[in-house]
Amino acid sequence: MLSRHAENLFWAGRYSVRAEDTARILDVSYQWSLQARAGTSATLWGGLLDVLHLEDAFAETGERADATTVPTFLVFGEANPGSIVYAVGAVRENFRAVREQLPLELWRSANAFYLELANRDLAKDLRLRPFELYALVRTRIQTLSGIVHDAMLRDEGHRFFLVGAWLERALMSCRLMSVHERSVVGGFGDIGLILRAASGLQAFRRVHHFSSEMDDLATFLLQSADFPRSVRFCIEHAAEQLAILAQRPGSAGPLRSQRILGQLGSGLAWGDSAEICRDLPANLEKIEDQIRDATAAIAAEFFLLAGGEPLHAQQVFPGGR
Amino acid sequence: MTRLFDDYRCDGFFDEAFSADGVVRPTYEALVRWFSQLSDAELARRARSRDDFFRTQGITFTVYGEQSGIERTWPMDLIPRIITASEWEVLERGLAQRVTALNRFLDDLYVGEQAAVNDGIVPRWLVMSSDGFRREAMGLATPLGARCLVSGVDIVRDGAGEFRVLEDNVRNPSGISYVLENRAVMTKVIPGVFARHDVRPVDDYGRMLLDSLRSVAPPSAGDSPTVVVLTPGVYNSAYFEHAFLAQQMGVQLVEGRDLIVDDHVVAMRTTSGLERVDVVYRRIDDDFLDPVVFEKSSMLGVPGIMSAARAGNVTLANAVGNGVADDKAVYPFVPDLIRYYLDEEPVIANVDTYLLWDEDQREAVLARLDELVVKPVAESGGYGIVIGPQATDAELAKAAADITADPRNWIAQEVVSLSRSPTLIDGGCAGRHLDLRPFILTGEKVEVVPGGLTRVALPEGSLVVNSSQGGGSKDTWVLMSDAQIADLRAEEKARR
């Protein structure tokens, strides 16, 4: 398929996950802030920006980080390519570029959601009914994923969408771990909230019961082979799709992107969770770096052939990291 | 029961469906009878059904002149326009003849001896000063001489009911997608009455177009040439057609940025690497095609594509430089070109046209500007046309000034009393002027698509049919001849 179309679908996958998972993170942050002790608000919301690598972008708004400014920034911030509104718009634009090749319902669903958000008074939603807004975003994106799963032909385009989605989800799960990790300083502390954000609380309980150990959370969110939001699960599924895409006429040996994901995946599969947790911030950093490297490699291998220009200025998570 | 045609008047115009007030032409009898017995509610229901089909499929077009170009759902009248087999036989012969002559003229001009110019059939200065002439195309041949791979020759019927060519369009004619979509929707909305007529199908166009494009592939292409449709992108008013045709042919739709020219070979950037392209059906104007050679600022084109064409590694369809042949100042010479290249009398006549660079003709025209139609030679979409009898004094004054300032780039014609056809307007039926744009493909042979796009001027009394200025359309039914019907029956029998 045309490189440009492959890139469009890759980004549609990434942005759809970004929209949903940003809503999840906001949901859990807001719940925590309701339970938090007085005085932790600024560190909580500031910490969230750090975790999403958006502290510089936010600084440009000149606002102070608090329970109003940060959600506003993350939901419909003007200059924020990490915002939900931006992400939903990006899904729509990327689908529009390949519209003729998509199931009609998929385009319609993405377009309808984009228009729906544009017609809502989001400031009011955040004031009066934030949980409903976050739930709405999650539901709409889940509908989109459902249509992708049920109606999309299993061609290259579909695989690029999945690779983008899995890689973004892996990144987001790392960020959830970071949020918890910083929570000791910032005031989260409740791994239950993190797990709920990942829709993994029940699953965790079945495996680790009522543990509140970091090791167990790390094992679950980073290393589980069965939980669909664990970083390992996401990396392995991305690698699976990539393996099929890499089978091109004239290809010789694994691509660099495959090597990176392969090493990352097996590192997580075989790593000792106690060791990983011993220096969690550094290890999470390393995982994120590897995901970014893999993304850049994919772009070089599939999208930017013969001097083409990337479709999106930021090939990695906004904030350049 | 509607009284749809009770108040229908011909008003002195040649009417497609009525030979006189209240007298239906035999070809339209079944149709008029059927529409007459529809209740108002049923008619409204069918109209809604038609609208739904066009809307849900997103068949739109852009109307300029409003804020930012509004996308409107494609307007198609429910009453089709019928052309009899014998009428079509003449049109088909005439159109094929005309396109053959235009191809010969262009091929001779850019690659050959320029015989018609040398022998004074068309003035050399006229050709060289044409907006559409491209010296960059000199020496650049198209296989089979098929420079006008797709042609759209606009046909009108005058007050006497005679078909005449109004203008040629051989650069980037559009509209075929609407012909196909109109037919698809009509068969769904009025299936019964459609089935009662033996209408020649048009849905083979994708195959016909692909065959033609493949036939002009360069020799280096081998047995299975790669064809692509090159579009300026989603913001172009005809984008829907570009995407539609690519899909009908089963070929890739590309934008300039998807193609790269390396070592004079055109290739597509795909996920499997660079894939060679042999034929480019380019729906981009000459000026924007190659920034190395033409407009340097064009972001839509493919740098170096002309060098690849010159090296014989890719065929551009339609060829570069065709604008000379559809220059309205060259139009008056086309009948002579037919005589010169084919040694035949033109089957379809031109509309009488005055050459404004000739001083005598110009003086005569300026004296009766309010009785004539004046047109700028290089425009399309009906823009810039001044219809004397309908123009304001200010518009006439401006036209006179434009003509005096730049006479080479204007022509004048007598106002053709365009034929009319019953059109559903505001719950009733009234006569509206129309024209016809048939489509002609040139490849190994010249093929004329049965029918074409019938365009209707919707405002009362208007003669401007172009959709970008608010015109509508009708499905065009070319009826099968008795011989064709017999052949079809024989074929069906043989299959059983």
pLDDT in tens, A186-238: 444 567 778 888 888 889 988 888 887 778 888 899 999 999 999 999 999 99
| pLDDT digit string, tens, across residues A141-188 | 999 999 999 999 999 999 999 999 999 999 999 888 877 666 544 444
**Cα pseudo-dihedral A182, A186, A192, A197, rounded to 10:** -80
CA distance A11 to A13: 5
Asked if B247's CB is within 8 angstroms of A306's CB, the reply is no
pLDDT of residue A252: 78
Supply the Cα-derived Rg of chain B in whole angstroms: 23
Residues with Cβ within 8 Å of residue A234, at least 6 apart in sequence: A166, A167, A169, A170, A173, A228
Whether the per-residue pLDDT at A315 is higher than 60: the answer is no
Q: Do A248 and B254 touch (CB under 8 A)?
A: no
Q: Return the axis-axis angle of helices B239-249 and B176-189, rounded to nearest 10°.
A: 80
Highest-confidence range of A296-300, A305-309, B186-190, B275-279, by mean pLDDT?
Answer: B275-279
d(CA B183, nearest CA chain A) in Å:
21
Chain B residues with CB inside 8 Å of A6's CB? 271
Instruction: Judge whether B76 and B96 are in contact, CB under 8 Å.
Output: no
Which residues on B lie below 8 Å from A97 (Cβ)? 234
Cα separation, B213 vs B317, in Å, equals 7
| B260 to chain A: closest CA residue | A306
Per DSSP bridges, beta strands B372-376 and B410-414 are: antiparallel
Whole-angstrom distance, CA of residue A100 vs CA of residue B239 = 12
B15 three-class SS: strand
Contacts 24+ apart (CB under 8 A), A33-37: A33/A67, A35/A190, A36/A187, A37/A187
What is the ipTM for the molecules in this complex? Answer: 0.72
Cβ distance B269 to A306 less than 8 Å, yes or no, reads: yes
Do A1 and B268 lie within an 8 Å CB cutoff? no
- Best of B242, B269, B276, B277 to disrupt the A interface (most A CBs within 10 Å) is B269
Q: Is the pLDDT of residue A306 over 70?
A: no
Tell the residue number behind the tokens 């390393």, with chain if given: A286
Give the residue from B443, B471, B439 showing the smallest Cα distance to B455: B471
Chain centroid to Cα B205, Å, comes to: 14
Comparing CA positions, the residue from A262, A308, A276, A303 lying closest to residue A11 is: A303
Number of DSSP helices (H) and strands (E) in chain B, helices first: 15, 25
Query: Would you call A149 exposed, middle or buried from its count of C-beta atoms within 10 A (0-12, 13-18, 19+)?
Result: exposed
Helices (H) and strands (E) in chain A, counts: 16, 0
Q: What is the pLDDT of residues B443-475, one digit of tens each?
A: 999 999 999 999 999 988 888 887 767 789 999
Number of A–B residue contacts, CB under 8 Å: 48
Residue A68 pLDDT > 60: yes
Distance from CA of A174 to the nearest CA of B (A): 29
Closest CB to A100: pick one of B247, B262, B272. B247
Question: Distance from A195 to chain B by nearest Cα, in Å?
Answer: 37
Is B253's CB within 8 Å of A100's CB?
yes
How far apart are the C-alpha atoms of B23 and A156, rounded to whole Å?
A: 61
Distance from CA of A133 to the nearest CA of B (A): 29
Find out whether A321 and A53 touch, Cβ atoms under 8 Å: yes
Interchain contact, A249 vs B272, CB within 8 Å: yes
Look at the block and give the residue holding tokens 């019907």: B485
Instruction: For A240-285, write each residue's pLDDT tens digit.
Output: 999 999 998 777 789 999 999 999 999 999 999 888 888 888 999 8
Chosen from A2, A98, A245 to mutate, greatest number of chain B CBs within 10 A: A2
Q: Do residues B475 and B456 lie in contact, with contact meaning Cβ atoms separated by under 8 Å?
A: no
pLDDT band for position A48 (cuts 50, 70, 90) = confident
Would the CA dihedral through B296, B302, B306, B310 be positive or negative? positive
Decide if A302 touches B, using CB distance below 8 A.
yes
Is A306's CB within 8 Å of B257's CB? no
CB pair distance less than 8 Å for B257 and A308:
yes
Asked whether B374 and B410 are in contact (CB, 8 A), the reply is yes
CB of B373 within 8 A of CB of B387? yes
> Could you tell me which chain B residue has the CA closest to the CA of A298?
B271
- pLDDT tens, chain B, 496 aa long: 458 898 899 999 999 999 999 999 999 999 999 999 989 999 999 999 999 888 877 776 666 654 555 667 789 999 999 999 999 999 999 999 999 999 999 999 999 999 999 999 999 999 999 999 999 999 999 999 999 999 999 999 999 999 999 999 999 999 999 999 999 999 999 998 898 899 999 999 999 999 999 999 999 898 999 999 999 998 888 888 999 999 899 899 999 999 999 999 999 999 888 999 999 999 999 999 999 999 999 999 999 999 999 999 999 999 999 999 999 999 999 999 999 999 999 999 999 999 998 999 999 999 999 999 999 987 776 788 899 998 999 999 999 999 999 999 899 999 888 999 999 998 889 999 999 999 999 999 999 999 999 999 998 888 888 776 778 999 999 999 999 999 988 988 888 7
Cross-chain Cβ contact B273/A250 below 8 Å: yes
- From the list B259, B257, B310, the residue with the least C-alpha distance to B280 is B259
pTM of the full structure:
0.84
What pLDDT was estimated at residue A320? 38
Which chain A residues are Cβ-neighbours of B267 within 8 angstroms?
A: 306
Quick one: pLDDT at residue A316?
40
Q: How many angstroms separate the CA atoms of A17 and B171, rounded?
A: 45
Q: What is the mean pLDDT of chain A?
A: 87
Mark out chain B residues that contact chain A at CB-CB < 8 A: 234, 243, 246-247, 252-255, 257-258, 260, 262, 267-274
